[in-house]
Amino acid sequence: METENSDRFLTAFNRIDHRLRDIVGNKDFTPFYRLIDQAKKKEVLVKKYEDDLRSYADL
């Protein structure tokens, strides 16, 4: 069975979300855009790809 693009996207998005939570040390619900704001202060790659990350959240 082939994996649907939507399933691949959700899997990737959830992995990114969990990684951002690890970076900021947050296990509670926080909107994705706030995770980006907090994580970009601690991780250079988040700052570098901030615009891309925000665009994924807007899909």
Instruction: Encode pLDDT of 10-34 as tens digits.
Output: 999 999 999 999 999 988 899 999 9
Q: Are 35 and 26 in contact (CB under 8 A)?
A: yes
Q: For all residues of the chain together, what is the average pLDDT?
A: 91
* 17 to 2, 22, 40, 47: CA distances (angstroms): 24, 9, 13, 15
Where are the domains positioned within the chain?
A: 5-57
Q: Please report how many Cα atoms fall inside a 13 Å half-sphere around the Cα of residue 12, on the Cβ side.
A: 10
Of 48, 50, 49, 45, whose CA–CA distance to 33 is shortest? 50
Determine the average pLDDT of the residues in 29-43. Answer: 95
